[in-house]
Amino acid sequence: MTDTAALLERIEQLEKRAQAAEDYRDLVNLQGAYGYYVDKGLWDEAAQLFAEAGTLEIAGRGVYAGRARVREYLRHLPPYGHGTIYNHMQLQPVLHIDSAAGTAKGRWRTLMMVGFLGREGRWGEATYENEYVREQGRWRIARLHGIINFYCEYDEGWHRGGVKLLRSIEGLAPDRPPSIEYEAFPESVIAPFHYDEV
């Protein structure tokens, strides 16, 4: 006869594995939603995807710490509207989830198409090394760290050299200095990996 305690143990394991599968879908949705909000300058909606203590660090501009500061940072970016393209496609997840702990790490990339009618058109591409936390039952961004691989003028392409990083947001100093020092293309940069093995 099968031991009920053994069955129960297997069911408990299955419940943990079911949770991990749901966590995966939630995290892919979360990062995708971030991209759709950023595309359209929906800054408050994007900020809501961060944990209460979540941090944002992009393009060597330093760390903005806490959801309120993330919102402030985002609101300093140009508004979406007529003549604006601000596409940030969220691509290629490599996700490692500790479901029991309610934490996760993810490598992603974004392909960027940025433009202002009659004034500027740029391609860009960045690697994210992000962290996530389950907070009040929902996955939230604990750390968004975007390392820019390149920006270039549409009219020039990447092979004539890139656009140097803009290392600060006018009128909004970060809470902490950048966590890594680098320059984008034509310099080489390899965003640190959160994993050794897959």
Show contacts with a second copy in window 58-87 (CB under 8 A): 80-85, 87
Residue 35 touching a second copy (CB under 8 A): yes
93 contacts 31 by C-beta, under 8 angstroms: yes
Contacts with a second copy, 106-125, as mask; x by CB under 8 A:
-x-x-x-x-xxxxxxx---x
**Segment near a second copy (CB under 8 A); pick from 52-60, 67-75, 168-176, 183-191:** 183-191
102 contacts a second copy (rule: CB under 8 A): no
Assigned token pair, 96: 């490692």
Q: Which stretch binds a second copy (CB under 8 A): 54-62, 64-72, 91-99, 170-178?
A: 91-99
Beta bridge partners of 89: 111
Number of residues in contact with a second copy under rule CB under 8 A: 76
Q: Which of 63, 65, 94, 165 binds a second copy (CB under 8 A)?
A: 94
Cβ neighbours for 129, distance < 8 A, ≥ 6 positions apart: 105, 106, 107, 145, 147, 191, 192, 193, 194
Are 176 and 88 in contact, with CB atoms under 8 Å apart?
no
CA distance linking residue 71 with residue 48, whole number of Å: 8
Q: Is 127 in the site for a second copy (CB under 8 A)?
A: yes
